[in-house]
Chain A
Amino acid sequence: MSQKGSDKFKYGLLKAIDVSGFKVFDPVVRLIFAEEPRKQIQDIAKYMLLPIIFCLVCFFMWDIIGPRHKTKSGEVPSPGKVLEAAKDATRFKQREGEKEAAFVAEGKDREALLADSKKKLTEFEEKTAELQELSAAAAKSGQNKIDASLNPIKEKYDTLKAKYKTAQTERKEAISTLADQFANKQASKDELIAAMEEDSLQKESEKEELKVLSQQLDDIRANPPKEIKEAQLAANKAADEVQHYKKVIDILTTGNREVKKNALLEKAEKAEAALTVATTGAEAQKQAKAVVSNKDKAGKADEQKFPKAATIYWQTYRSLATVFVGFLIAVLVAVPVGIMCGLNRIVMACLTPIISIFRPVSPVVWLLIFQIIVGAFFPDPDKHWLFQTMNESKLLPGFIHNLQVNPAMIFSACTVAMCALWPALVNTALGVSSIDKDHLNVAKVLRLGFWSRLFKIIIPASLPLVFAGLRISLGVGWMVLIAAEALSSSDGLGKYVWDEYQNGSSQSFANIILACFVVGIIGFFLDRIMIMLQKLVSFDDGSATA
């Protein structure tokens, strides 16, 4: 009985990993259940260990080759640097969280936070001082090193330059005397030309020689010892923390929501007190106004949200939401239209030119078009009902407010929809038009009406191809989204990449590669989800999934 139960569990598990597209783990599961251990171990070695080793080799190569490839914007970051970037991104997120916490903290919490932040501040201040000292020392010793290698060449360069300069003036003088002689018919034409040629040749070679030396100087200057930069970066990081805790303390003491509110309420109270003893009408009016306006402001202050800076986590979340919305629009348009195309050749003929012309259009063009079109619908986005509901309505949960829906998000989603539309549409049309004739004959024999034919025969029969199309669509959508965001500055991973590119800091390159991994991994999981759905609707044993 228990044997049978475990078998059932095993096959359930195997089916689950098959459906979810992780067939790689099949031998692992089988091995756990001690099914043909030899074969499973072989399979694991072949299809799991080797790929893992291959990936490791790739990482290793990257680690070795990357830093050796020097670009003008710095070297290609190693995996370690990218990991470092990921850690920094996480720290950045934490900082924003701490600031927000400082903004909303109330009463005892606020005091505790304040004490804690002060402690941390002193801690980091000490650390910064220490690191800055180290950095200064490193800079000094580094400069000495640079000078040591620079000075001899520089000396050589200077002396050579001076030498050549005098040589050039001498030659110039010689030529001018020769020219005078020629004028006096004391020298021949050829002589003068030869001297001229000689001079320009000499000049060229001298220049060349100097250039080599100056190039060497530039190289040395361009590649200061690594320690300097590293020490500097370490010091900078600590100094960033100092800056951060200063800001947190600042928020806790003056920017804090409660503090602000209380200050305003106090003012209102004072004004009220002044109002009771007011003697003149004007004074009374003024104080009454102060009471009202301060109370009003206090109320507003209570509702204020902390404007958090965008972190890569939030950008990822927003990208996912955008691609989801865009994909949904694409599905809602593509599937019905695709079905109509598949059912009716006239509709297909009508739509073919439109599909053929618009399908190859670049997402960038769509983005610009949608930007103009969609923008026109939201003349005043702050007051538009859509954004007011999405961002403020109490009916919606916080995670939707968190998205901060704006027109840029809408037209990014529209761009995604526009580009993701085509594979789904074409595949749906194909799926519908290539339904097995026998299935349609069944419908005829049963004399099914249009709707039951549609829902009982046509849609179920074309679902595998429809989902194959949707899978391509989602992949296209995700790729397009990143480009659209980069271009439209709609918050998301695309904007993150673009911002990092514009930052051009020493860590930007690593951050871009980090984003590349995030985009890739998410794309991978989206694809897996679609494969899973596709397998669930496939009836012919999953052969439709390649």
Chain B
Amino acid sequence: MSFLEIKQANVGFGPVSNRTEVLSDINLKVEENEFVAVIGFSGAGKSTLMNLLAGLQRPDQGSVTVKGQLVKEPGPHLGLMFQNYSLLPWLSVFENIELAVKTVFPKLSKSERRENIMHYIDMVKLTPAAEKKPHELSGGMRQRASLARTLSLQPEVLLLDEPLSALDALTRSELQDQILNIWEKDKRTVVMITNDVDEAVLMADRIIPLTIGPQATLAEEFRVNMERPRDRHTLNDHPEFMRLKAEITSFMMGLNKESKANANSSSTSMPDIKPKDFSLPSARLDFRNRKAKPSGSRSVA
């Protein structure tokens, strides 16, 4: 039995008569201390998948288990790190973490608690900013604070929900390194959701693509057989890296095309009315062309 397991999970919303299946037939097994990346387009249902894992949402069918135990509700052992930090803005970095530590480890003495908190702040290199409020921090610093808070829960599973997608490229790579560092020092099970192929290949042991919703499901996995620690500077020349990247990208593009085709076939037919155009000829825009632009291209490119 795997450490973390999803069995034939289905998630949908809406009334029975008009139900939209977001995820269908999801099966996932993650071994202890494994680093798994789930990659998918925006809107594919990645966050729903993450909610399932964190216990924030329960599947309509199927089950989610951790160490064989059914996940019924969220808890500190499922350390979820949110996409948009979700630090409490009225508390300083220290206080944000303090709230977590106080709740999860109420028996710690005051000095132990403090030490504990400072340890995690130190781990993400935020010691100088410990007393600052979130709005005084940069995006990267906020994400690090959020990471520190998640780590301070000492979770059995670390769930990273597109942790770095809102950051600029430089900060992003810096944080990737940090997360990897921490993970290597203090091994635990990690599920990361991302839309960045490079990031997935760099960080994960396995990469599992999520097909495009509705009825998104997990596709065939890609195993990353590269030795650790991985060095991002030499990685670009690594043949395995190049191969995986190309393969995954082309697989994802294929998914995208397929879904487009599906979407077109299922689109409702519009009445044959041409809107009258009152604008000047020079200002006329070609609506059809604009519409045809692929919407998911940004994330894969």
Contacts and interface: CB of A to CB of B under 8 A. Distances in A.
Q: Are A and B close enough to touch in the complex, i.e. CB under 8 Å?
A: yes
Interface of B: 54, 56, 73-76, 78-80, 82, 84-86, 88-91, 99-100, 103-104, 133-135, 153
A439 B90 contact: no
B79 to A, nearest CB: 8
Contacts of A456: 88, 99
Interface of A: 436, 438-439, 441-442, 444-448, 452, 456-457, 460-461, 463, 537, 539-541
Given A539-B133, A540-B89, 10 more contacts: A439-B86, A441-B80, A441-B82, A441-B86, A444-B56, A444-B73, A444-B74, A446-B153, A447-B73, A447-B103
Given A441-B80, A539-B90, A539-B133, A446 B56 contact: no
A446 to B, nearest CB: 5
B88 A461 contact: yes
A439 B134 CA distance: 13
Given A461-B90, A539-B90, A445 B133 contact: no
15 contacts: A436-B86, A438-B85, A441-B86, A442-B82, A442-B88, A444-B74, A445-B75, A445-B80, A445-B153, A446-B76, A447-B73, A456-B99, A460-B88, A540-B89, A541-B135
Given A456-B99, A539-B133, A540-B135, A447 B86 contact: no
Interface of A (DSSP majority class): helix
Nearest to A438: B86
Given A438-B84, A445-B75, A452 B103 contact: yes
A541 B136 CA distance: 9
B89 A447 contact: no
B142 to A, nearest CB: 12
Contact of B103 (A439, A448, A541): A448
Contact of B76 (A447, A457, A463, A539): A447
Contacts of A447: 73-76, 103
Contacts of B135: 539-541
Given A438-B84, A539-B133, A539-B135, A445 B90 contact: no
A446 B89 contact: no
Contacts of B84: 438
Contacts of B74: 441, 444-445, 447
Contacts of A445: 54, 74-76, 78-80, 153
B117 to A, nearest CB: 14
Contact of A446 (B82, B85, B99): B99
A456 B80 CA distance: 19
A93 to B, nearest CB: 46
B218 to A, nearest CB: 24
B88 to A, nearest CB: 6
A523 to B, nearest CB: 29
Contacts of A541: 135
7 closest Cβ pairs, A-B complex = A438-B86, A539-B89, A539-B90, A444-B74, A460-B90, A446-B103, A445-B74
A538 to B, nearest CB: 9
Contacts of A537: 90
B55 to A, nearest CB: 8
A461 B96 CA distance: 13
Contacts of B91: 460
A393 B269 CA distance: 82
A431 to B, nearest CB: 13
Nearest to A452: B103
B90 A442 contact: no
Contacts of A446: 76, 99-100, 103-104, 153
